[in-house]
Every structure is written in C-alpha cells, then in structure tokens.
Amino acid sequence: MNSGLELWQRAKMSIPGGNGLLSKRPERYAPDIWPTYFSRAKGVEIWDLDGNRYIDMAQMGIGTAILGYCDNDINTAVKSAIDNGVNTTLNAPEEVYLAEKLLELNPFAGGVKFARCGGESMAIAVRIARAYSGRDKIAFSGYHGWTDWYLAANLNGESNLRDHLLPGLKPKGVPYGLKNTVFPFKYNNVGELREIVKREDIGVIAIEGARYDFPTKEFLDNIQRIAEEKEIVVIADEITSGWRMTDGGIYKLTGFKPDIVVYGKSMGNGFAISAIVGKKEVMNEAQETFISSTFWTERVGFVAALKTIEKLTKNKVWEHLNKIGDIIGKGWERLAGKYGLKLHVTDFKPLITFKFEYDDRNSALYTLFTQEMLKKGYLVTNSVYVTYAHNEDIIKEYLKNVEGVFKLIADAIWHDNIPEKLETSIRDEGFKRLN
C-alpha cells in the first residue's frame, strides 16, 4: 500500500468519510492504488507522499487551479497580503475592488456579495432569490452543492438528483418540512420545466452555465420567457463553468439574462473565494435578511481573485482552455476509433469529458484507464479540467500514453477479461458511505 493510502486509512478513523470533499476520495478513481495525498504541486505536476511525480490530467484541484498549481503571480500577491495581515478589526479594501471588478465584467448587475465556497454561495443566492420573489419553491437543473435547499430534492426519493451529477445523495438530516420545495428538471429539457411551472408556484429557477453540454438556445429562451411571465428569479450557477469560456460566464456567450450569477472554484486559482453577483434590486434583498459570516471578509480570497481575474482576462485564458480541450477530445476520439473503443466526447471543452458506452462495465473501464495511466505517471479520470499550464507538448505526450492504454482496454473488452486486468477494486460513481 502506498503512503497516501496508509494515511487515508488513518484519515477515516478521525474524519468521517476521510476528508471534506467527495471528489478527492481515492474511491472515486482507483481505490487501492490512487496516491490520494500530495506533498507539493507546481504547474500541472503533483508529487505524492512517496516522492512520485505525476502529470495531472484529471481534476486540477477539482477545477480550481485554472492557471495551474502554485502560480507565481497569484502566490506573490497572496504572500504580500499575508505579510500585511489578512483578518483584522477593519475591512480589507480588496473586497470593494473585487466587487467593482465583477460589476464591470457583469454590466447587468448592481450588487455583489462574497463567500468562500460554492455550496454556501448558492445557498446565499437562493436565500436572496426567495426573499425577492416572495416564494419558496425552486426549479433547478444540475449540481449546486451540499446544502439543505438542494438535497431537499431527494426527500421524495434518492433518485431525483441521480441525473444531476451525483447519484446516491442522501437527504438524511434535511428537514422533512422542505419536501416538495425543490423540483429538478433535466438540462436542455424545456418540457420538464414547463410541467413543473404549470404544477407549482415556482419563485426561483437555478441552472448550471454548462456541465457536459452547452445550453440550447431553445432552453435558455424558454427559461427567460417563463421567468418573465411568472416573475421568477433566475440564477445562473457558473461555479464550474465561469471563466472557462469568457471573462465571466457562459451566460455571456448566449445572450441569456439571469438575475443572479454565482462564481466559485477557479476565481482565486485555488484560494477560497466565491461571489454572488446580481441585479441591484434583487441583491438589495440581502439587506432584508441576515447573511453574514466572519471569513467572508478575509483578505486572501479577494487578493487571489483580483490577481487571477487580471491574468485570466489579460491572456484570454479561456481561448487556451478551449484549444487544448479540443485537442484532447479529438485525440480521444481518434484513438478510440483506431482501437474500436466505444466512447462519446462531450461538448464543453475546458472540462473535456469522455463517456464509455459499455453500460455496467463502464466503471471498471474507467478504473482500468486510471490504473494504467498511473503506471505511466499520470493522474487521470475520464474528464480533464484543462488549465493554462497544460500546453500542446504535454498533451501530445499524454495522448501517446493514452494510446497504449486504450489499446489495452480494447483488448480487455475483446477478450472479455476486464476483471483480470484490474489490480484495484472498481471506482464509485456517486455518493456512498465509506467504512
């Protein structure tokens, strides 16, 4: 067992579930061999606890390190903030500068609130939206975090959230009184949304900017029409998609007009910062309800975000992410074609993803992919959060290595001996209690 997995066994003794984020559990990758912990990281490189070096062609800080790990410019700005004090009796001026920057980038908006995590910023957005609309009920599509308003969707049965990124989310502990307050609809499925709105007095609609697929024009036009007709507050959750296609969010590409946009993840290149940006009259409702927390005023997040946004916009980083994502996606398709592997590559290039098409064998095949690429010095899964630090040479070398592994996988499918090739148990796809 590697040192990371040894520590993981220890972690589970003191931390229920082992850590604070499902997506960093080894059970999500290759449970018995995943390095699990890092000692240091730079650019796209990570070193584990045994001194092994990997190229990260997987999650890049679960989508946070959009410029690459340990970026010198961001770190220099943050270090200088640290040396001048980060949390004092007085406010950090950078809170104002960042709010002004976000209003400049979102001309529709007139107010900004800050938080640190995605889930909590969606909870803030939902509180403000409910306060403004005066109605409790929410229709939503996609993943929006761990909080009560969202998990309440599964009070009607755990399958409601199955098609929204994470299957198996348990709503235990979520007040039963929240049952029938939130209603999921599939992305790009206008019919489902129409049905919900006909049946329920919806006050808020929340959608993701994009996950695997882009929103269709029909989908967005209909949301806009329904929202106008019924005076519903619309939240665009750009926590994952924001900064990956434009200087702000996918909504900017489509002409969609949300009332609130929410950012998180990559806005501080790994430092914790999130933002709720909305129309002035909507955001002013934050004055009528209590929303306040000590660490929402801490300085590092603001400083990191200001520097990250400066670098993102100056270099139009999203163009690089799209170009590299496209090369990766086309590379997967070419190699899959060459070895007769059935897979589908999704549209959203900066978070490029392939999906095997082998039904109940998919999880075993993803695990095999991770296992074999680990041997070649790569952290992989079937998605890549592309970053500014991934360049064409890195991708060329990665695809060379993928070729050998795709060939091995195709052989295992052909000979129907996938279990014999696996040196680890198979990864989990959703939420599961760990023992």
Ligand X SMILES: Cc1ncc(COP(=O)(O)O)c(C=O)c1O
Q: Could you please report the per-residue DSSP string of 291-316?
A: ---GGGG-HHHHHHHHHHHHHHHHTT
Residue among 44, 55, 117, 233 that touches ligand X (CB under 6 A): 117
The CB density around residue 379, as the number of other CB atoms within 10 Å, is 22
Q: Is 145 in the site for ligand X (CB under 6 A)?
A: yes
Sign of CA dihedral 204, 209, 213, 214: positive
Q: To the nearest whole angstrom, how small is the minimum distance from the Cβ of residue 224 to ligand X? A: 20
Closer residue to ligand X in complex, CB, 239/426: 239
Return the residue matching tokens 């803030």.
Answer: 124
Nearer to ligand X, 67 or 239 (CB): 239
Nearer to ligand X, 209 or 331 (CB): 209
237 sits near ligand X (criterion: CB under 6 A): yes
Q: Which residues between 205 and 234 bind ligand X (CB under 6 A)? A: 208
* 119 lies in the site for ligand X, by CB under 6 A: yes
Per CB under 6 A, the segment of 25-33, 89-97, 139-147, 199-207 that binds ligand X is 139-147
Can you name the residues that pair with 263 across neighbouring β-strands? Answer: 275
Q: At residue 7, what are phi and psi to the nearest 5 degrees?
A: -65, -35
- 129 sits near ligand X (criterion: CB under 6 A): no
Which residue do the tokens 């997967």 mark?
Answer: 332
Q: Can you tell me which of 106, 133, 160, 240 binds ligand X, judged by CB under 6 A?
A: 240
Instruction: Tell me how many residues contact ligand X (CB under 6 A).
Output: 13
How many C-beta neighbours within 10 Å does residue 96 have? 12
Q: Pick between residue 125 and residue 306 the one whose CB is nearest to ligand X.
A: 125
Mark 406-435 with x for binding to ligand X (rule: CB under 6 A) and - for no binding: ------------------------------
Q: Which of residues 253-272 bind ligand X (CB under 6 A)?
A: 264
Minimal CB distance residue for ligand X = 118
- Scan for tokens 């590092």, then name that residue: 300
Q: Looking at 122, 379, 386, 418, which residue binds ligand X (CB under 6 A)?
A: 122
Minimum distance of ligand X from residue 211's CB (angstroms) = 7
> Of the two residues 237 and 372, which places its CB atom closer to ligand X in the complex?
237
Rounded Cα distance, 220 and 213, in Å: 13
Q: Would you list the DSSP string of 243-265? A: TSSSSS-THHHHT---SEEEE-G
Secondary element (H or E) of residue 136: none
Binder among 130, 135, 144, 349 for ligand X (CB under 6 A): 144
Question: Under the criterion CB under 6 A, does residue 366 sit at the interface with ligand X?
Answer: no
Do 370 and 30 contact (CB within 8 A), yes or no? yes
Among 61, 118, 325, 329, binds ligand X (CB under 6 A): 118
Select from 85-93, 96-104, 237-245, 287-295 the region that touches ligand X (CB under 6 A).
237-245
- The angle, 0 to 180 degrees and rounded to 10, between the axes of the packed helices 190-199 and 217-230 is 10
Least spacing, CB of residue 69 vs ligand X, in Å: 18
| 400 contacts: CB under 8 Å, gap ≥ 6 | none
Distance CA 435, CA 432 (A): 10
- Find the shortest distance in angstroms from Cβ 171 to ligand X: 16
**How many alpha carbons fall within 13 Å on the CB side of residue 265?**
27
What pairs with residue 283 in β-bridges? none
> What is the binding site for ligand X (CB under 6 A)?
117-119, 122, 142-145, 208, 237, 239-240, 264
